[in-house]
Amino acid sequence: MNLYLKTGWNDWYRRRVPGVFLLLLAAFCILFLRLFQLQVLGGAQYHRLSENNAIRLQALAPHRGLILDANGYCLADNRPSFDVCIVPWYARHSQTVLPLLSEILSIDGDRLAERVNQGRRSAPYSPVCAREDIDRDLLAVIHARLPELPGVILNVRSQRHYPQDGAVAHLVGYVGQISPQEIADGRFPHRRSGDLVGKYGVERAFDAMISGRYGGRQVEVDAKGQVVSVLRTVPAEPGSDIRLTLDMRLQNRARQLMGDNTGAVVAVDIRTGGILAMVSQPDFNPNWFVDGMSTDQWNFLAQDPARPLENKALLAYPPGSVYKIVSAMAGLEEGVITPQSTFFCSGFLEFGGRDFRCWKKGGHGRKALVAALAESCDVYFYELGLLLGVDRLAWYAHACGLGSVTGLGFDNESPGLVATAAWKRARFNESWMSGETLSVVIGQGFNLVTPLQMAFLTAAVANGGILYKPQVVARITTPWGGTEESFAPVVRGRLPVSPQNLEVIMQGLWGAVNGPAGTARAARLADVPFSGKTGTAQVVGRGDRETFLNRIYDRRDFQNHAWFAGYHVGQDGEGIAVAVFVEHGGGGSAVAAPIARDLIAEYARRAGPVAAAGADVPDWRE
């Protein structure tokens, strides 16, 4: 206590005080400098960050356009999908809501509780999805019990739906999430990750038109995720609806006629090039892709040997005898034969030390072109082939639309193959052997055609020689009904044949169905006149096929492919061309021709593809 009087001592302490002040000053200068750094130097950036924190963009999904057939049947639409979600903040006081909800939805209660608790900590106003896409019964239950379920909300989404299930699967296609590859390619310029884009078929080829445009809302949110205000709204643009040229009744009938067979049917309107039916079997249900599929379903799609995901109408196969149409055309036009020229068929032709057989063991005898076509005499065409040579034959094939894509616009169309000497040299580094021409001319050998190409070739024969570009879309309409775009038929080319020569060929095709010895005679109709050509494409050599062992095991995949390409022309020039292809179907006349017959009959017995008002046309709005 006596220190207090020692002022000398105190001076020592006191002198140190200003030093303290200086240190404080220095410290505050540091703080000030930091403030300067943050607020002046970084001011603009932090200001921007504070804005970004608070503002969120919510996308407003557009309504995807409908896909309808020519009569207005709905092939693809959007259905509401109900998700059951729970908002953690509103559910926070209830002990019972989570167990009850788990029980009603039959989901794991612990997992849900875990997710909700996590949500409550991080973003309590953001809904946690408990179960997606519930059915209507469950929806009714939940809705009725909402008072017992505080915090539970029902979110509605729009989900793509295919009411016809698998009937038009390959043509209409399906949608799926855009892949990173597709984003990188720029194939879908206005889409971002997470958007649905067409993956197959019309959905893909015309995606730009039916997808519409995303809208958006700029909202301000607070730190918990609760929307505080809506700053701006840009409405979504709905996609346009697409009317196809397809006739659903023909499509269904064709599918029914194909039964369990693997293969394809293509039916074309001969005056417009509009596709009336396109069936590929086996098919699949495109709803699987949208609703989510089970492992079994995926295994079926990916691993079934019949490959359901392929659109067989667009795949290329050996044409067999239907190719003789091209060969005949080439022969006539090149002048190496006339309609009166004949060749003698004894059941085989010897060439190059080999016997090239005709399908008819005993031979056809002496035949001219019309009969040779009608009865599908191989020897006649062997002789023709030797006179033509492979390259001339190839030229005509190309002019008939073979060997290149038809212009349908789908990604997965095969161009087929038309062999030439040059091609063989490039491919196998071997020169062409004349004997190979003999195979090619009757549709065996290297050549490959697609059912689509065959159908259009047939249509061109039927309508006087105009080769149309395949059309699958008739018109595009706005969501309010007005026409946005109409598609007129597009001519791709003309068959390289004079009207007279074409007439001869048509006679041959007429004879195949209606003539006394026509290969398709069994398929003729009394009331509906139609013509066509059968084809039987060998898969393995006959010798192999008919060996004792293989006959015993009856191996289906050694069976020949069955083809039939035919047409019917009505009174005023309108008509239908049909190409039927049955994989490993055996004989074209036995298997493929009846299918074409019945389909043509279906077409002809009605008033035509574009129905006027009629009692049996259902309202597509049903």
Partner 1 sequence: MFDRRLLQNFDWALALMTYVLAGIGLLTIYSAMAPTVQGGATAFVYRQALWFAFGSLALVVAFIPHYNWLDRWVWVLYALCIFLLIWVLFFGKTVSGARRWISLGPFTLQPSELVKLAVIVVLAHLYSESARESGLSLGDLVKPAIFVLLPFVLILLEPDLGGALMLLLIGGSMTLFVKVRRRAFAWLVGFGAAAAPLAWFLLKDYQKQRIFTFLNPDRDPLGAGYHIIQSKIAIGSGGLTGKGYLDGSQKALAYLPEQHTDFIFSVFAEEWGLAGSSALLFLFLVFLGLGLNIAFRSKDPFGTVLAVGVVVMIFWQAFINVGMVMGLMPVVGVPMPLVSYGGSSVLTTMIGIGLLLSVGMRRFMFE
Chain residues in the site for partner 1 (CB under 8 A): 1, 3-5, 7, 9-10, 12-14, 16-18, 20-21, 24-25, 27-28, 30-32, 34-36, 38-40, 42-47, 49-51, 53-54, 122, 220-224, 228
Q: Which is nearer to partner 1, 41 or 490 (CB)?
A: 41
Identity of the residue, 16 or 621, whose beta carbon is nearer to partner 1 in the bound complex:
16
In whole angstroms, the minimum distance from the beta carbon of 75 to partner 1 comes to: 46
- Of the pair 52, 181, the CB lying nearest partner 1 is at 52
Q: Omega into 282 within 30° of 0, i.e. cis?
A: yes
d(CA 144, CA 600): 53
Question: CB of 153: closest distance to partner 1 in angstroms?
Answer: 23
CB of 184 to partner 1, least distance (A): 28
Write b or e for each residue in 43-62: b if 16 or more Cβ atoms lie within 10 A of its Cβ, otherwise e.
eeeeeeeeeeeeeeeeeeeb
Q: Which helix (H) or strand (E) holds 132?
A: strand 128-134
Determine the Cα–Cα distance for residues 131 and 153; give it in Å rounded to an integer: 11
Pseudo-torsion of CA 382, 387, 390, 391, nearest 10°? -160
Closest distance of CB 97 from partner 1, Å? 25
Cβ closer to partner 1: 6 or 111? 6
The DSSP call for residue 186 is T
CB of 192 to partner 1, least distance (A): 23
Q: Are strands 275-281 and 531-537 parallel, antiparallel or unpaired?
A: unpaired
Using the minimum distance from each CB to partner 1, give the nearer residue, 48 or 143. 48
Q: How many helices and strands (H and E) does the chain possess? A: 24, 23
- Per-residue b/e over 602-611, b at no fewer than 16 CB within 10 Å? bbbeeeebee
Q: How far is the CB of 89 from partner 1 (least distance, A)?
A: 13
Task: Give 53 or 299: the residue with its C-beta nearer to partner 1.
Answer: 53
| DSSP for 292-345, written as a single string | ---HHHHHHHHH-TT-TTS-GGGS-B--GGGGHHHHHHHHHHHTS--TT-EEEE
Residue 220 parent element (H or E) = strand 215-221
For residues 310 and 283, the answer to whether their CB atoms sit within 8 Å is no
Nearer to partner 1, 63 or 115 (CB): 115
Q: How far is the CB of 228 from partner 1 (least distance, A)?
A: 7
Whose Cβ is closer to partner 1: residue 40's or residue 552's?
A: 40
Burial class (CB in 10 A: 0-12, 13-18, 19+), 353: exposed
Shortest spacing between CB 35 and partner 1, in angstroms: 5
CA nearest 475: which of 164, 161, 63, 65? 65
